[in-house]
Structure 1
Amino acid sequence: MDDLSMGERIRALREARGMSRAVLAQLCGRGPDWLKKIESGDRELRSYQLLMRLAAALQVNDLSKITGEAPPVTVPLPVPSATLDHPVLPQVWDAVMGRAVKSEPPSEEPNPARLQGRVDQLWRLWHSSPRNRTEVGALLPALIREAETAVRVLDGDRRRDALKTLSEIYRLTGSVTAYIVPAELAWVVADRAMSAAEQADDPHSIAAAAWTLGNILRETAYPEQSLSTVLDAADLLRPHLESAPDDWRGVYGALQLHAAITLAREGKEAEAWAAWDKGDQVAKSLPASYVHPATVFGRANVDLIGVSVATDLQKSQDALERASEIDPGLMPSVERQARQWVEVARGEMQANNPTAALYVMQRACETGIETVRYTPWARTVTSWVFRNAPRGLRREADVLAELVGVSTPG
C-alpha cells in the first residue's frame, strides 16, 4: 500500500473489513457522500478528530496505515465511549422518563424560589464533591419530580420561574448522566432542558440549555451542529450583554469557550483561538472573583480551556507551558480541578512522557475520582500509561488502571 493515497488507503482498509461506505461514514458521524469524496481524493481529511474516528471504526492501531506517514510518536486510539454503569442511574432515569401525564395534586403549593435554592445547593455539591455523581445523583430524582409537578400546577410568573428551574435541573441531570447513558437518552435530557427554557421564554435559560445541548452534539459526533447551536445561543444573548446580570455574560463566555473546543477538535486553529479570545475578553470584563454557578466560567476556567484547546490541536508543548502557569487549586470546582489534571496528562501523553502522565493521572484521581472514571480521555490516557509505563512503574500503572476502571490484559 506504499504508493496509495490516504483516500485509497481508507477505501482498501474499509473493503478489507467488508464495510460499506455508508456504514463507515455513519460510524464517523458523517454521510456517505463525505466519505466518497475522501476516498476519491476530492476532499482532504484535515480533522484529527475525524481521522481518529476512522481509525477506531476500521480498528487500526497505527495511524500510518491510513495516512502513509509515520507519526513522530505513537498516537493511541480513544477508549470507546461505551455506556458505563453507575448505581444512581436507574433512579435518575426513572424520574426523567416516568413523569406522569396525570397525577395527584401536591399537598401544598410548590414554591419555585425554594426549588431554585435546592438546585443552587446541588450545583455547589456537584463542583465540591470528589464523588459528585453519587451524591448529586441520589438527590436528583425527587427534585425532578417536584419541579415537574410545579410546572404542571402553577401558572403565570410562578410557572415561568418553575420552568427556568426545571430547565436548570435537566442541565444538571445532563452533567450527572454524561457518559453513563446512551446517546439517545442524553438527547432526552438536553431536549427537556431546552423545551423548559423555551417555554419560560428566557434568553439566559435558553442559552444555558444550548451549552448543554452543544456538549451532547459534540460528544455524539455532530460538531458542526454543536458549533451552530452555541453560536446561535451567543447571538441570542449578545443584545442583552451591556445591561445583563453577570451570569448572562458568564453563559455568553462559556458558549465562546465551548466553540473554541469544538473548533480545536476539528483542527481549525485560528478560529479556535479567536473563539477562546472572545471568552477571555468576557472574563476580563467580569469581577476577578466571578464564577458562573453551573458552567464555572471565570478567569481560572478560561485558562483551563486554553490548555484543552492546545491539547486538542495536538500542540503538546503549548499545552504543557500553559498548564505550568496554572494552579489547579485556584479552580473553584473539584470536578474542573480533576479535569485540569487530565488535560495535563493528555499533553504528557502527546509528548510521549508516560512517567509524567502517570504522576499527573494519580493527582487527578486524588482530586476527583468520579470525574476521572467517567471522563473518556482520562480512560484513554490511563490505558496508554498502562501500556507504556517504565518497568519500574508497572505496579503503579496497574493500580491506576484498576482505580480508573480500565480493563487490562490478563
Structure 2
Amino acid sequence: MDIPTDLSMGDRIRLLRESRGMSREVLAGMCGRGPDWLKKIESGERPLRANALILRLAAALQLTDASVITGTCGVEQPVHLGRLRHEGMPAIWDAVMSRRLAPLAPATPPSPVALQARVDQTWRLWHTSAHNRTEVLALLPDLIRDSETAARALSGEDRRAALVAASDVYRLTGQATAYIAPAELAWVVADRALATAQDADQPAAIAAAAWNMGNILRETSYADDALRVVTEAADLIRPHLDTGPDDWRGIYGALQLHAAVTSARGGREGDAWRYWKAGDQVAKSLPAAYVHPSTVFGRANVDFHAISVATDLKKSGTALSLADDIDPDAMPSTERRARLWVEIARGHLQRGDTTAALHVMQKAQSIGTETVQFTPAALTAVTDLWRTAPRALRPEAAQLAEKIGLREVG
C-alpha cells in the first residue's frame, strides 16, 4: 500500500495494522508486548528505537522491508519472515529447544576442566574473528549438549564446575545469537545461563549470567529491569571482591559499565557517569593489562564505554573528544573494536558530519564484518548515512549498505 511520506513511525504502524484488520492486542501479542505498549508507540508517546522490536513488528505485519515502518528511504532493510535468520541457527535451535528430558549416561562423562577450556577457547574466537557469529555458531551445538551432559552426569565439585561451564556456554550462545534469534530462544538461553549459575552457587558465574540477562532486558526495552538485575548482581558479588580472583572484580566492573550505558540510554546523565566512574575505579584496581575473558572488561573497555555513554546522552562533542585520546588497538577484542567505531560514527552523525561517519563505518565494517552486519546501531547508522550522504558519497554509502545486507532501492 502507498503510505504518505510525512507519516510518523507510530502512524505508519497504526495504518498498517488497521489495513490488515489486526487489533492492538493481536499485534502487540505477536511481539511479546501488551496493547498499552503498542498504543503508546502508535500515538508517539513512546519512541521505538530497538531495531529488534522494529523487525519483530515488521515480521508480524508480514512486511519484507522494515523501512516501510521506519519511513527511511533509499535503503531496504530485509525482514526475515522465517524464525531463524542465520544458517547456523537451526542447529542452535535444536540443541537448545530439543533438550532431552531423560538424563544421558555416557560411558565417560565429559571432563569439566576440558569442557571449560573449550568454552574459553570459543569465547576467544568470538572476540577475535571478523566472522565471529558464523564461526562460533558452528561450535555451540556440541558445546551446549556436552555441557548439559556433564552437568547431569557428574556430582559434587565436578558437577559445580560443569554447571559453571554450562552457564558460560549459554552466555556465549546469547551473545552469538543476539539480534538473529527468535525472542523465545533469547529468553530461554538467558534464563538457563542464570539458572545453571545459581545451581552452581558461584557468585562470579551468577554475576556474569546477570550481566547477560541485563543485555536481553535492555535490548527488549525493559531498561528498568535490566538496571535492577545488574545492580543486584553487583551487590551479590561485592562482598567477595577482596578475596576473589581478578576475574571476579572484572565481572563486577562489567556490571557497572552495563548500568552506565543503560542509564545513559534512559537520559539519566548523573547516574550514567556515576556508574561509569565506579567501573573506572575497578579498572584502576586491576593490573594495567587485565582483560576479562568474556566481557573484555579492562582499562580499554572502560575508556570505550565512556564514548558509548556520551553518545547515548547525545553529547557528541564529548564522545568525539574522548575518542581522540583512545588507542583502539589497546582492545584485544576485534568485536569490541568494531563496535567502538560504530559509536564514533554515531557521534559524527549526531553532529551532521556524514563524510567522517561514512569513513568510520567503513573502518568498522572492515574490522568486524558480522559485528556491523548484525548490530542494530550499525544498521541504523548506515541507513542514516544513505539518507544524508552528499551525492558524491552516495555510491560509497550504498556499497557499504550492500555489504551488511541492506539493499539500495529507488
Question: Which whole-Å CA distance do the structure 2 matches of 1:289 and 1:189 have between them?
Answer: 31
Q: Which residue of 2 aligns with 1:86?
A: 86
Q: Which residue of 2 aligns with 1:196?
A: 196
Structure 2 vs 1, CA of residues 29 and 231 (structure 1 numbering), >3 Å: closer, same or farther? farther
Partners of 1:355 and 1:389 within 8 A in 2: yes
Question: Which whole-Å CA distance do the structure 2 matches of 1:320 and 1:33 have between them?
Answer: 35
Partners of 1:291 and 1:298 within 8 A in 2: yes
Gaps of 5+ in 2: 1-7, 59-67
Secondary structure at the counterpart of residue 85 of structure 1? coil
Question: Which whole-Å CA distance do the structure 1 matches of 2:9 and 2:350 have between them?
Answer: 24
Question: Which whole-Å CA distance do the structure 2 matches of 1:264 and 1:216 have between them?
Answer: 17
CA drift at 1:317: 1.0
Secondary structure at the counterpart of residue 366 of structure 1? helix
Deviations 1:23-49 (A, max 9, x none): 89987967739978x98xxxx979896
Q: Which residue of 2 aligns with 1:286?
A: 286
Partners of 1:81 and 1:376 within 8 A in 2: no
1:331-350 equivalences under 5 Å are: 331-350=331-350
Deviations 1:92-133 (A, max 9, x none): 121111221226522323210010011111111111111111
1:47-126 equivalences under 5 Å are: 85-102=85-102, 104-126=104-126
Letter of the 2:311 counterpart: T
Question: Which whole-Å CA distance do the structure 2 matches of 1:372 and 1:12 have between them?
Answer: 29
The reply on whether 1:168 has 2:172 as its aligned counterpart is no
Question: Which whole-Å CA distance do the structure 2 matches of 1:81 and 1:279 have between them?
Answer: 37
Question: Which whole-Å CA distance do the structure 1 matches of 2:124 and 2:356 have between them?
Answer: 31
CA drift at 1:270: 0.7
Partners of 1:167 and 1:193 within 8 A in 2: yes
The reply on whether 1:149 has 2:149 as its aligned counterpart is yes
Letter of the 1:326 counterpart: I
Structure 2 vs 1, CA of residues 363 and 11 (structure 1 numbering), >3 Å: closer, same or farther? closer
CA-based RMSD of the aligned residues comes to 3.3
Question: Which whole-Å CA distance do the structure 2 matches of 1:332 and 1:396 have between them?
Answer: 29
Partners of 1:211 and 1:258 within 8 A in 2: yes
CA drift at 1:183: 1.7
Letter of the 2:243 counterpart: S
Partners of 1:253 and 1:283 within 8 A in 2: yes
Q: Which residue of 1 aligns with 2:5?
A: none
Question: Which whole-Å CA distance do the structure 1 matches of 2:358 and 2:10 have between them?
Answer: 37
Deviations 1:348-368 (A, max 9, x none): 111111111111111001101
Partners of 1:170 and 1:190 within 8 A in 2: yes
Normalised to the residue count of structure 2, the TM-score between the two structures is 0.84
Letter of the 2:331 counterpart: M
Structure 2 vs 1, CA of residues 46 and 257 (structure 1 numbering), >3 Å: closer, same or farther? farther
Q: Which residue of 2 aligns with 1:384?
A: 384
Q: Which residue of 1 aligns with 2:3?
A: none
Question: Which whole-Å CA distance do the structure 1 matches of 2:219 and 2:314 have between them?
Answer: 18
Structure 2 vs 1, CA of residues 291 and 15 (structure 1 numbering), >3 Å: closer, same or farther? closer
Q: Which residue of 2 aligns with 1:66?
A: none
Question: Which whole-Å CA distance do the structure 2 matches of 1:33 and 1:121 have between them?
Answer: 41
Question: Which whole-Å CA distance do the structure 2 matches of 1:81 and 1:258 have between them?
Answer: 29
Partners of 2:24 and 2:38 within 8 A in 1: no
Partners of 1:47 and 1:266 within 8 A in 2: no
Letter of the 1:291 counterpart: V
Question: Which whole-Å CA distance do the structure 2 matches of 1:386 and 1:165 have between them?
Answer: 43
Q: Which residue of 2 aligns with 1:257?
A: 257
Normalised to the residue count of structure 1, the TM-score between the two structures is 0.84
Secondary structure at the counterpart of residue 408 of structure 2? coil
Q: Which residue of 2 aligns with 1:134?
A: 134
Partners of 2:170 and 2:193 within 8 A in 1: yes
| Moved segments of 4+, more than 2 Å | 9-36, 44-50, 56-62, 79-84, 102-105
